[in-house]
Amino acid sequence: MGWTALEGWSFSDRAAHRSKPKDTERGREQKHEDDKSNLFCIQINNAAPSGRRSHGLQTPAIHNPELYARNLLLPLAGDQRLIEYATCDTESTAARLCALGAEKGTRFSFRYIPKAVLIRAIESRFGRHLAENAAWRLAWEDPQCSAHLGIIYIQRIILLLCLGLIAGCAVMVPAATLSVSLWVIGLVFAAMTAFRFVLLGAGLLGWRPIHYPAQNDEAEETTANGTESPVAGACADLPVYTILAPLYDEPEVVPQLIRAFSALDYPAECLDIKLLLEEDDKRTLAAIEALNLPPYIELLHVPNLAPRTKPKACNYGLAFARGAFTVIFDAEDIPDPDQLKRAVAKFAATGPETACLQARLNFYNPRDNWLTRQFTLEYSMWFDLLLPGLKRLGLPIPLGGTSNHFRTDILRAIGGWDPYNVTEDADLGLRLARRGYRCDILNSTTYEEANSETLNWLRQRTRWQKGYMLTWLVHMRHPLRLLRQLGMWRMLGFQLFFGGTVLLAICTPLAIPLLLSGLVLCLDPILSLLKFCTLIGGLGTLSLCVIAGAICRGNYDLIADIWRTPFYWLLTMAANIRAVWQLFQCPFYWEKTRHGLNLLRKSPMG
């Protein structure tokens, strides 16, 4: 983006755009037409303006393009006496220049252009650099915590040795191998059963009634001394809040997403919403362009660089984030309208060591079919009981894929999301814990679309299980370093929650055939029967957690569907098998989950 690229803009253009038309349908249409005509002038008018010469001017050196993206300033040209910038808001330009580290006494001149045009110009000039930084920053700064290395060499050697040892023992002493395998599986299920009981108890002890905005119009959170502190509604009392919404090939859900953002109970002038769109996603772009977006919603085009994953898109959007806090919402999400205000109050009450708040997640189509009912039961258990239990016990919290509210400065300081981890949310929660930060639970709900198609659900669950396995392997590259950073208690919690999930994914598909083999071959039938009872007890404990979650959420009618849970577990076992295969074949492959299957028909905002 050189000097002549914006020569079509003069100070008369600036004056014209500062006199905005009234906010009517006709006025908005006229403004849209004006923007298109001005953009046309930028593209064709390359001549220097009358009375000005571009000869001899050099583009200023760029030290940090993220600062230009964040402050919406584009350097056009300059020398030692004068630097010229393109801006969309001349009133706050001085403060933005201070943020860029401008030296005192430097003279500046400015050219005013509309925000959408300026953002596109910044992307045109710095987009590839920002995308490369989004893809590789964590790998550059902390390669041992980045999944881009996959399963490292020493881990592959250990895995191969273990598999070889098991295979050799199975050939030489099959009876003893089967007996030891039964013992290992029994211990895994016993440990996970006990751990789930502890989490269930901790979650129930700290349980609070689910917040529904209709019951309380004021956004409130419990402060440190136990009193309720309402959040003021004026923008002067609220920080700018950035919302990142990554989308890919999801035109069906765009209208509902915009309605959900418009329903947020937060001052529009304090909102900084970024729609993150892959640059070749023409269908979603057409759906967005067909809408009349509010001025606080911006469209960013993520350059087509590998890896093409959601966390890379979020890192790209983070470079443009101007808010003190940042939250990520998925394309089909409908957050509680007062969620942002409640997050601001919670951050103020918990102190600077709290880097992230995880809102509760649930579904707005829980009764579409048996699969959505099972999915809702599982989500209620996970976000209403197990994660609060982890928080109450002081253990690392694996974040959900959406409604994670961050302090923006801390999120940037730790390198953002890992673009090569397909469960970047769970990984980020653990990296925050390793840096000494805390994650807390926000008593506010974001409603999503539950998968109602089996194959679509299977692809999503495969990615989740593969991501948990990869996250455990990444953070176990240096166990002693991890132990020093987490401490013994949180290290134990990490092994039980993350490592236990990995072991269950591997052991569950093997458990039933091994147990049946022990009974059929009469190899210590009492021991085999005992292990079988342990397996049934573990599954029974999980069912108890599911029922408790349904009661906490108030979905009493879904409890009657608990008899279908074993079929749901069979699907989970199939996803586990696919996850293990993909972990070695394509660890970074992001299986796309299709959204909008029942969204427009079932959504409460449809």
Q: How confident is the model at residue 227 (pLDDT cuts 50, 70, 90)?
A: very low
Whether residue 535 lies inside any domain: the answer is: no
| Joined tokens for residue 303 | 């350059």
What pLDDT, on the 0 to 100 scale, is given for residue 599?
56
Q: Which residues contact 567 (CB under 8 A, 6 or more apart)?
A: 370
Q: Which residues contact 81 (CB under 8 A, 6 or more apart)?
A: 107
CA distance 293 to 287: 11
**Spatial strand order in the sheet of 73-78:** 73-78, 83-87, 108-112
What pLDDT, on the 0 to 100 scale, is given for residue 362?
94
359, β-bridge pairs:
442
Arithmetic mean of pLDDT over the chain: 80
CA distance 425 to 423: 5
Task: Work out how many domains the chain is built from and give that number.
Answer: 1
- Greatest mean pLDDT among 215-229, 505-519, 571-585 lies in 571-585
What pLDDT, on the 0 to 100 scale, is given for residue 547?
86
CA distance 128 to 149: 23
- Confidence check: pLDDT of 29 > 90: no
| Joined tokens for residue 48 | 């220097």
Whether residue 235 lies inside any domain: the answer is: no
pLDDT per residue as tens digits for the range 124-153 = 999 999 999 999 999 999 999 999 999 999
CA distance 302 to 276: 7
- Greatest mean pLDDT among 52-66, 148-162, 179-193 lies in 148-162
Share of the chain above pLDDT 70, in %: 75
How far apart, in Å, are the Cα atoms of 172 and each of 181, 247, 516?
Answer: 15, 54, 21
Q: Which residues contact 295 (CB under 8 A, 6 or more apart)?
A: 115, 268
Q: Which residues contact 579 (CB under 8 A, 6 or more apart)?
A: 462, 463, 464, 465, 466, 469, 505
- Are the CB atoms for 188 and 499 separated by under 8 Å? no
Whether residue 568 lies inside any domain: the answer is: no
More confident residue, 64 or 157: 157
- Confidence check: pLDDT of 234 > 70: no
What mean pLDDT is predicted for residues 400-426?
95
Q: How confident is the model at residue 49 (pLDDT cuts 50, 70, 90)?
A: very low
Residue 270 CB neighbours (<10 A): 19
Q: Kindly calculate the radius of gyration of the chain based on its CA atoms and give it in whole angstroms.
A: 27
Beta strands in 212-313 (DSSP E): 220-222, 228-230, 241-247, 271-278, 297-302
Of the listed ranges 205-209, 270-274, 508-512, 529-533, the least confidently predicted one is: 529-533
- Are the CB atoms for 9 and 91 separated by under 8 Å? no
Q: How confident is the model at residue 242 (pLDDT cuts 50, 70, 90)?
A: very high
Whether residue 77 lies inside any domain: the answer is: yes
271, β-bridge pairs:
241
Pairing of β 83-87 and β 73-78: antiparallel
What mean pLDDT is predicted for residues 205-220?
65
Q: Which domain holds residue 58?
A: 3-141
What mean pLDDT is predicted for residues 329-349?
95
Give buried/exposed letters for 166-182 (b at 16+ CB in 10 A, else e).
eeeeeeeeeeebbbebb
Query: 3-state SS of 422-478?
Result: CCHHHHHHHHHHHCCCEEEEEEEEEEECCCCCHHHHHHHHHHHHHHHHHHHHHHCCC
What is the pTM assigned to this prediction? 0.84
Give buried/exposed letters for 583-593 (b at 16+ CB in 10 A, else e).
beeebbebbeb
- Are the CB atoms for 493 and 396 separated by under 8 Å? yes
Query: 3-state SS of 296-356?
Result: CEEEEEECCCCCCCHHHHHHHHHHHCCCCEEEECCCCCEECCCHHHHHHHHHHHHCCCEEE
- Residue 561 per-residue DSSP state: G
Whether residue 115 lies inside any domain: the answer is: yes
Q: Which residues contact 164 (CB under 8 A, 6 or more apart)?
A: none
SS3 210: coil
Per-position DSSP letters for 506-534, written without gaps between them: HHHHHHHHHHHHHHHTTSSHHHHHHHHHH
The answer to whether the peptide bond before residue 75 is cis (omega within 30 degrees of 0) is no
Q: Which amino acid, residue 270? A: C
Whether residue 151 lies inside any domain: the answer is: no
- Greatest mean pLDDT among 10-24, 74-88, 295-309, 523-537 lies in 295-309
pLDDT per residue as tens digits for the range 39-48 = 322 222 332 3
What pLDDT, on the 0 to 100 scale, is given for residue 514?
63
How far apart, in Å, are the Cα atoms of 422 and each of 55, 204, 361, 460, 500?
Answer: 50, 31, 19, 10, 19
pLDDT per residue as tens digits for the range 305-315 = 989 999 999 99
pLDDT per residue as tens digits for the range 479-500 = 999 999 999 999 999 999 988 8
CA distance 128 to 126: 6
What pLDDT, on the 0 to 100 scale, is given for residue 468?
93
| Joined tokens for residue 315 | 């890192």
Determine the angle formed by the axes of helices 525-553 and 370-381, rounding to 10 degrees: 90
- Confidence check: pLDDT of 555 > 80: yes
- Confidence check: pLDDT of 31 > 50: no
Q: Which amino acid, residue 287? A: A
Whether residue 48 lies inside any domain: the answer is: yes
325, β-bridge pairs:
241, 407
| Closest by CA position to 273, among listed 281, 283, 291, 286 | 291
Of the listed ranges 14-28, 363-377, 458-472, 545-559, the least confidently predicted one is: 14-28
Number of H-type helices and E-type strands within the chain: 21, 13
CA distance 403 to 245: 10
What pLDDT, on the 0 to 100 scale, is given for residue 106?
61
